[in-house]
Amino acid sequence: MKGGAIMEKLAGILKEIKSDVDYGKESRLFTDGILTSLDMVRLVLGINELFGIEIDPDDIITENFDSVPAMMKLIERYGGK
């Protein structure tokens, strides 16, 4: 899947979780508490469903979810469709 398509799907999930965040600018989404662990559940479930992957709980770490590029990298690593 191309970066643009991943980005588009991911943006949809993130907007649904919290619409008033400028995801393009934020690089510490979880570190700074902009998103909570409850948001993380929705985010991971959304990613799993939309990209047809299953993210391992061991990969649910700040480095993989603090910014949109980090999430895209993770989805690409899992071969998201």
Partner 1 sequence: MISIVPYSGEYKVGVLAVLKRNFPWMARYSDEWLSRWLSPLIEYHWADDPDISDVPFKYGAIVLDGDNVVGFFGTIYSYRLIGGKKYLCLNFSTWCADAEYRIHTFSALKKLCATADILTDFTPNEPSREIITKMFGFKYAETKCFNLCPVPLLHSAKASVRFINDPSELKDPEQSAIFAEHQKYGLKCAEFERDGEKGCIFYYFHTSRKLKLYRIVRTVKIYNRKLFTENLREIARKIQKHEGFFIHFCVDSCFIDGKLSYPLYFVRKAYRCVRTKENINFQLDFLYSELSMLDI
* Nearer to partner 1 (CB atom), residue 1 or residue 48: 48
Give min distance, CB of 31 to partner 1, in A. 6
DSSP reduced 3-state for 37? helix
Binding partner 1 (rule: CB under 8 A), the pick from 5, 16, 45, 49 is 45
Q: Which parts of 25-44 interact with partner 1 (CB under 8 A)?
A: 30-33, 36-38, 40-41, 44
Task: Report d(CA 66, CA 29) in Å as an integer.
Answer: 5
Q: Is 52 in the site for partner 1 (CB under 8 A)?
A: no
Contact (Cβ atoms closer than 8 angstroms) between residue 64 and residue 71: yes
Tokens of 7: 């980005």
